[in-house]
Amino acid sequence: YFHLLNSNSRNKRSGKLPPGPYPFPIIGSILQLGQNPHQKFTELSKTYGPLMYLKLGSVDTIVVSSPEITKEILQTHDQAFPLRMITAATRALDHHTESVALLPMGSQWRKLRKICKEQMFSTQPLYASQGLRQEKLQKLLQYVQECCVNGRAVDIGHAAFVTSLNFISNTLFSLDFADYNTGSTQELEEIIHRLMTVFACPNLGDYFGFLGLLDPQGIKREAEFCMGKLLANFDSIIDQRAEASRNSQARKTDLLEVLLEISQGNQAELTRNTMKHLLLDLFVAGADTTSVTVEWAMTELLRNPQVMSKLKMEVRTVVGANKQVEESDISKLPYLQAVIKESTRYHPPGPFLMRRKDGDDLEIKNYVIPKNSVILINIWAIGRDPRIWPNPDSFEPERFLNREVDFKSHDFELTPFGAGRRICPGQPLAYRMVHLTVASLIQNFDWEFEPGITPQDVDLNEKFGVSLKKAIPLKAVPTKP
């Protein structure tokens, strides 16, 4: 995935760089770190420790694999790491100059974060839009019911992707972007899919500056095409809504209303262009991460029938067998919450938290963190570290019933939503969507593997990308309880 090169940079610095695989034995191989760099880094950190240095192409890279050093980066020294790594794909249509996910932690970033935190993903607007998500949940259950009647297996990842995309598109616009029937794939679903693929594609130009200008893999071109389509779509959705409110049609309960109110109140606070790039970020950051979380949770539930039974019992007892699960039920389902925590510990949808060093070199734990270096916090490794989690490879939600750890964990051991000032702003929405989907699938159906597959056979291989997918999609057969 990455290319490792020899570098003289170690000799130029006054301080000592963290240890790392230098000189790397097989210099010159582009696939040096394989298809799953998080796994390779985990292996290397067993030799070199929790603070590791690698030269990836021309990029100084620091890999962190302990909660203690994560805290140093994201809390103690967070001012020193205000940047993200900007890739050629994210430069398309100057997205990086507008994007809340890519801007440095300066005043424009703070403004957008404030809009997300206070006006979009706070309790009141999410409460107002919950009916829109409840309707989409009903659609998912109808689709699964059809599969159940026909004895067909459900591709859980795909069903969860359609559901989360529609959860997000309805929460934002009161519109569906996706369809369960793959034959009639909607255009926007496909474009979002393509955009995420191009964002995830390893790009030589990002590691070898001179190649960046040539765009040898056509990555920037593809990103421009997909973003252009999406932004044009957002433009027409916003136009239609503005027109509807001029004709004083009933006000919707979605987040576009909130955004339009902000932009009409004070143009300087939110221009049309900034609004469109923010919307783009929300789809890219929210759809896949949410559906991947659901797919891994369902995979572990099917592999662990005792956990599945216990969860089923909780949901059917607390919510009842016939009443649809609602967002307000989640707080009454502690075992469900423990299942989702355990699932994200072992299968974090994003294996790395990423930062970039601004300004001069910095010293941490007596090692130099070079200026401009990219920091990759390997939360995948932290979630599987036996010194933090006894029996890390065993799926035990119970560990969270006796242990005070939440997603805002001050000890930085469970951070699937990130941590510090850059923590995922969509977490309140993601939390609702993931718990609602898993609880409803379990409440309404019993689940089995396809004939011939046993829990022990399940393949847990991963596919690295914008989020860490299951390499072989989970197919499960629903039956009526």
DSSP 111-132: HHHHIIIIIISSHHHHHHTHHH
Smallest distance from ligand HEM to CB 230, Å: 14
Pair 216, 307: CB distance under 8 Å: no
CA–CA gap between residue 366 and residue 16 (Å, rounded): 8
CA–CA gap between residue 21 and residue 40 (Å, rounded): 12
Q: Is 424 annotated as a binding residue?
A: yes
Pick between residue 154 and residue 168 the one whose CB is nearest to ligand HEM. 168
Smallest distance from ligand HEM to CB 171, Å: 8
Interior angle at CA 101, CA 97 and CA 104, nearest 5: 60
Pick between residue 280 and residue 325 the one whose CB is nearest to ligand HEM. 280
Pick between residue 204 and residue 285 the one whose CB is nearest to ligand HEM. 285
Pick between residue 400 and residue 417 the one whose CB is nearest to ligand HEM. 417
Residues that bind ligand HEM (CB under 6 A): 100-101, 113, 168, 281-282, 285-286, 289-290, 293, 349-350, 353, 416-419, 422-426, 429-430, 434
What residue type is assigned to position 170 of the chain? N
Pick between residue 115 and residue 260 the one whose CB is nearest to ligand HEM. 115
Joined together, the tokens standing for residue 300 give 């572990």
CA–CA gap between residue 34 and residue 32 (Å, rounded): 6
DSSP state of 207: H
Smallest distance from ligand HEM to CB 226, Å: 18
Smallest distance from ligand HEM to CB 460, Å: 18
CA–CA gap between residue 408 and residue 423 (Å, rounded): 9
Smallest distance from ligand HEM to CB 416, Å: 5
Smallest distance from ligand HEM to CB 251, Å: 22
Residue in the block written with tokens 């809009």 = 115
Q: Is 380 helix (H, G, I), strand (E, B) or coil?
A: helix
CA distances from 126 to 47, 253, 310 (A): 46, 9, 29
DSSP 48-91: H-SEEEEEETTEEEEEE-SHHHHHIIIIITGGG--B-PPPHHHH
Pair 356, 375: CB distance under 8 Å: yes
Pick between residue 17 and residue 230 the one whose CB is nearest to ligand HEM. 230
CA–CA gap between residue 273 and residue 187 (Å, rounded): 22
Smallest distance from ligand HEM to CB 191, Å: 17
Pick between residue 18 and residue 418 the one whose CB is nearest to ligand HEM. 418
Pair 460, 152: CB distance under 8 Å: no
Interior angle at CA 278, CA 274 and CA 282, nearest 5: 175
Which amino acids are annotated as binding site for heme, given as ranges? 424
Which amino acids are annotated as binding site, given as ranges? 424
